[in-house]
Amino acid sequence: MSDAREDLCRRFLAQAGWDRAERRVLAADASFRRYDRLNRDGEPAILMDAPPPQEDVGAFHHIAGLLLDIEMSVPRPLALDREAGFLLLEDFGDRTFTRALQEGADEGELYRLAVDTLIALHQRWWPDVAGLPIYDEQRFLDEVALLTDWYLPAVTGRQTPAAVRDAYLEIWRELVPVMLSVPQSLVLRDYHVDNLMILEGREGVARCGLLDFQDAVLGPVSYDLVSLLEDARRDVSPELAAEMLARYRAAFRHIDQWSFAASYAALGAQRNAKIIGIFTRLCHRDGKPHYLHHIPRVWRLLEGDLQHPALAPLSDWFAREIPSDLRSVPEEKKTE
């Protein structure tokens, strides 16, 4: 943190009454955000440092309020300075689902809780909320273009030809109705075990704490299931994934089975293509190469998604333009 930003931070904490709190770095992530843990005479809190214009703490604050309104467990905002990019939050502790799994917690139990939490969210969510961004065609296309704009040049050594890129995006344009063929709800977008917390002393789905939802949009209900079950950072067995999908489907029997399966596969392919591009960009643009080792897993997930009949044209494009010998981990960009 620069000296100027540190001064802004201290001013924010003083105004919030936390200037005398002990403070230590908690985490940084793939974005520009970082987090500190505060302790004020035994009272904990989390400081989110999200510098504008790259980040907007107001989005997190807004979505948190909406989720609290429908009784989902999210960190309660304690103080906000949107202009400077600081937000003080309730501290949910350290027991993420990821940590609990590493400690030997029952995998099936945790994933059932995660799916039940999504079910509750989708059952409680109201149909329309003004001001929320929508997962529309342009957003889908901008995201999948990360693969042709970052990953493909990294493994071929040349820019993607315009005709190849255009053909790819046209196929995706035709798949948008497939992705949107299920009901719409709030999509948290990064719904996976790293961003879910176990909250002791709470019952039912309230035990599941939600993090990292500032990029939430209105979109297809199948998206966050894909985030959970096609996890870029963790293997989920086909048996567990099938059980969780069946659990979700049992709560929403009115959703057409074929439409749901096609939407799930198309969104899986969309998300995994985006992630491959993002992980490449994080390395080559942002100097964060440690995400690259996840790429083989993401390719396996993408190849599984492409098996769905609705994605046959997309599968053909991949076979032609990114055959198996190109589905590799990009080399780290050498610095001069």
Same domain, residue pair 63 and 83: yes
Alpha-carbon distance 188 to 192, whole Å? 10
CA distances from 330 to 151, 157, 268, 295 (A): 7, 10, 22, 9
Distant-in-sequence, close-in-space partners of 49: CB < 8 Å, separation ≥ 6: 1, 5, 9, 33, 34, 35, 36, 85, 86
Same domain, residue pair 120 and 27: no
Tally the residues of the chain.
Answer: 336
| Burial class of 104 by CB neighbour count within 10 A (0 to 12, 13 to 18, 19+) | exposed
Residue ranges making up the domain that contains 305: 97-326
Q: Is the distance from CB of 147 to CB of 277 less than 8 angstroms?
A: yes
Question: Does 332 reside within a domain?
Answer: no
Which pLDDT belongs to residue 3? 82
Which pLDDT belongs to residue 29? 61
Question: Could you tell me which of 88, 77, 73 has the C-alpha nearest to residue 11?
Answer: 88
Which pLDDT belongs to residue 33? 85
| Burial class of 153 by CB neighbour count within 10 A (0 to 12, 13 to 18, 19+) | middle
Same domain, residue pair 150 and 247: yes
Same domain, residue pair 121 and 141: yes
- Residue 250 neighbours by CB distance under 10 Å: 9
Which pLDDT belongs to residue 326? 95
Helices 238-251 and 257-284: crossing angle in degrees, nearest 10, is 130
Question: Does 272 reside within a domain?
Answer: yes
CATH number at residue 241: 3.90.1200.10
Which pLDDT belongs to residue 165? 98
Which pLDDT belongs to residue 156? 95
Which of the listed residues 89, 112, 130 is the one where a domain comes to its end? Answer: 89
**For residue 182, is it left (φ>0), alpha (ψ between -120 and 50) or beta?**
beta
**173-206: burial string, b at 16+ Cβ within 10 Å, e else:** eebbebbbbbbbbbbbbbbbbbbbbbeeeeeebe
Q: Compute φ and ψ for 56, nearest 5 degrees.
A: -140, 100
Question: Does 334 reside within a domain?
Answer: no
Same domain, residue pair 236 and 146: yes
Which pair of tokens denotes residue 247? Answer: 């659990």
Which pLDDT belongs to residue 26? 86
Q: Is the distance from CB of 291 to CB of 225 less than 8 angstroms?
A: no
Same domain, residue pair 49 and 116: no
Return per-residue pLDDT of the chain as tens, 336 residues. Answer: 678 899 999 999 999 999 999 999 987 665 678 899 999 999 999 999 999 988 899 999 999 999 999 999 999 999 999 999 999 999 999 999 999 999 999 999 999 999 999 999 999 998 666 678 999 999 999 999 999 999 999 999 999 999 999 999 999 999 999 999 999 999 999 999 999 999 999 999 999 999 999 999 999 999 999 999 999 999 999 999 999 999 999 999 999 999 999 999 999 999 999 999 999 999 999 999 999 999 999 999 999 999 999 999 999 999 999 999 999 999 987 544
Which pLDDT belongs to residue 248? 98
| Burial class of 293 by CB neighbour count within 10 A (0 to 12, 13 to 18, 19+) | exposed
Same domain, residue pair 133 and 269: yes
Number of domain units in the chain: 2
Which pLDDT belongs to residue 148? 98
Same domain, residue pair 47 and 110: no
Same domain, residue pair 72 and 104: no
Q: Is the distance from CB of 47 to CB of 71 less than 8 angstroms?
A: no
Same domain, residue pair 225 and 299: yes
Which pLDDT belongs to residue 336? 43
Question: Does 274 reside within a domain?
Answer: yes
